[in-house]
Chains A and B, each alone.
Chain A
Amino acid sequence: MSAPTTAGAWKEVQEEAPPAVVAADPILGHLPCGRHGLPPEFVQAHQRERLLHAISCACVARGYPSTTITDIVSEAGVSRRVFYSHFTSKEECFLEAYRMLVRSMEGKLTSACAAAGPAWPERLAAALRELLDELARHPSIARTLFVDVLSAGPQALASRQETLRRHVRHLRLPAGAPPELGEAVAGGIVEMIYHTVLGDRAQELPGMYEELLYCLLLPLLGHDGATAVCGRVSAFTKSSSCAVVQHSNAVHHRS
């Protein structure tokens, strides 16, 4: 079995994005060589961004522990010297890439929550759905966030714990539940996502949404509460098609 080449992994990431984004996104292209009149700060920022994306992609191909600086710079199309002008080590580069991806993902989850209205179980459901959809769209990001971070050193682990704790605060614990329950509940969902991403099945995550949501809500609301929320949420997401069905039923009844 041969591992996919880093170039192959990078290509996959490019293909995931719609073409319009590729053209507009300076990160995905190299700058022109030679004298180009671009300000040095711009060039440096551009290189940094490329390195941050490159480490994520390089790790997809070989896993974090086996990925070398050489892999990262060849993925990014910059020299080793440029790498070391931005980062002191692979760990530092990964940590920044991880934090960048977390921030970007959290932005998306926040928007999804906001669109879901004020009720917390609905907001939680919307965030979970968005997370699963995003991970399925970008398997390389899924690997960075859920797999590679585990082997990227103590700071990366600490950052992962911090991220988890931030999200756990959004969970409402039932009366009489022990204080760390939120961590265990969120941890179970993270673990399921980890299993799936580790098995290169990130694209199956959206299909697991309803069952995952039920598992997430079960220890917080009990079976009846969890079932009710799952029913409301799935009715909401299917509302457009449901409306059509109800409408046609109504027409059928009248005739």
Chain B
Amino acid sequence: MSRLPSQLPGGRHGLPRSFVVRNQRERILAAVADTVAERGYAAMTVEDVVRLSGVSRRTFYDQFADKRAAFFAAYDAATEQTMVATAEAFLSSTYWPEQVRLGLQAFLGFLANDFAITRMGFMEIPLAGPEGEARHLAGRTGFEVFLAPGEAMAAHPIPPMVPKVVGGGIFELAYAHVVRGRTDELPGLLPTCVYHCLAPYVGLEMAAREAELAKRSLGS
């Protein structure tokens, strides 16, 4: 079998064991994401993953108990990458309404560029039984952290359900686009997402102004 570009050299190469294991793990996770994107979780087999990642079956089972475990690890990795991209953009400003706009822009852009991640994170994870559903939920609620600073800007108390409903709305809106096969149009949702995130905290007028800004940033 020919060697994949991401594969390490065979035989004695003097690379530390931990490095090798990490490289193998990353290749397996990438192969899982690609296989799921192409064929769906139900049809994915360990053989597919082994072939695509270029690791041995033995290596696969050294790292993961079964295909489900590998799928969950790939989902977690994808969620983390999305979170990191969002957080980096969010932290590039210090003014919360702008942080929200930049964070959402990165979030939507990241998802639009990675079909494997959206298919896995939106469509396939609920198919993986109760544990998949629980992860699905945990993955989504993690993004509520970006709404917390909004409470300080609000002129009224924010009930605990508000960030959950706001975050859930963003997810549902993106999900509806993915289901309709319009993943590439996700960045166009920015004005709506900005309005939806800001309105409960800073009021309708300011939310409309920020949504207008977001709309202009789309054109540029």
A contact residues vs B (CB 8 Å cutoff): 63, 65-66, 147, 150-151, 154, 157-158, 161, 164, 174-181, 183-192, 194-195, 198, 208, 211-212, 214-216, 218-219, 221-223
For B128, the chain A residues whose CB sits under 8 A away are 65
Residue in B closest to A208 when the chains form the complex, CB atoms = B161
Residue B149 CB within 8 A of the other chain:
no
B129 touches A66 (CB 8 A): yes
A178 touches B137 (CB 8 A): no
For A181, the chain B residues whose CB sits under 8 A away are 192, 195-196
Residue in A closest to B194 when the chains form the complex, CB atoms = A178
Given contacts A181-B195, A208-B161, A219-B196, contact A188 B203 (CB under 8 A): no
Residue B153 CB within 8 A of the other chain:
no
B155 touches A223 (CB 8 A): yes
Residue B96 CB within 8 A of the other chain:
no
Tell me the smallest distance from the CB of A131 to a CB of chain B, in Å. 15
A208 to B126, CA, bound (A): 25
B168 touches A190 (CB 8 A): yes
For B16, the chain A residues whose CB sits under 8 A away are none
Residue interface bits B183-199, CB-to-A below 8 A is 1, else 0: 00000010111011001
Residue B171 CB within 8 A of the other chain:
yes
Q: Beyond A184-B173, A215-B159, A219-B200: 10 further Cβ-contacts under 8 Å? A: A63-B130, A65-B129, A66-B129, A176-B204, A176-B212, A190-B168, A194-B168, A198-B133, A208-B161, A222-B203
A219 touches B168 (CB 8 A): no
Given contacts A65-B129, A161-B180, contact A223 B173 (CB under 8 A): no
Residue B15 CB within 8 A of the other chain:
no
For B127, the chain A residues whose CB sits under 8 A away are 65, 151
Tell me the smallest distance from the CB of B115 to a CB of chain A, in Å. 16
Residue B148 CB within 8 A of the other chain:
no
Which 6 A-B residue pairs are closest in the complex by CB-CB distance?
A187-B172, A191-B168, A188-B169, A176-B208, A188-B165, A184-B169
Given contacts A212-B161, A223-B203, contact A190 B172 (CB under 8 A): yes
B196 touches A184 (CB 8 A): yes
Residue in A closest to B215 when the chains form the complex, CB atoms = A178
B contact residues vs A (CB 8 Å cutoff): 42, 123, 126-130, 133-134, 137, 140, 155-156, 159, 161-162, 164-173, 175-176, 179-180, 189, 191-193, 195-196, 199-200, 203-205, 207-208, 211-212, 215
Residue in B closest to A211 when the chains form the complex, CB atoms = B161
7 contacting pairs across A/B (C-beta < 8 A):
A65-B42, A66-B129, A184-B193, A195-B137, A211-B159, A222-B203, A223-B155
A180 touches B203 (CB 8 A): no
A219 to B126, CA, bound (A): 29
Tell me the smallest distance from the CB of B164 to a CB of chain A, in Å. 6
A191 to B173, CA, bound (A): 11
For B195, the chain A residues whose CB sits under 8 A away are 177-178, 181, 219
B179 touches A158 (CB 8 A): yes
B159 touches A179 (CB 8 A): no
Residue in B closest to A219 when the chains form the complex, CB atoms = B199
For B204, the chain A residues whose CB sits under 8 A away are 174, 176-177, 219, 221-222
Tell me the smallest distance from the CB of B83 to a CB of chain A, in Å. 18
A214 touches B156 (CB 8 A): no
For A216, the chain B residues whose CB sits under 8 A away are 165
For A214, the chain B residues whose CB sits under 8 A away are 159
Tell me the smallest distance from the CB of A77 to a CB of chain B, in Å. 27
B189 touches A180 (CB 8 A): yes
Tell me the smallest distance from the CB of B160 to a CB of chain A, in Å. 8
Partner of A63 from B129, B137, B180, B193 at Cβ < 8 Å: B129
Tell me the smallest distance from the CB of B134 to a CB of chain A, in Å. 8
Given contacts A66-B129, A184-B170, A198-B137, contact A218 B176 (CB under 8 A): no
Tell me the smallest distance from the CB of B111 to a CB of chain A, in Å. 15
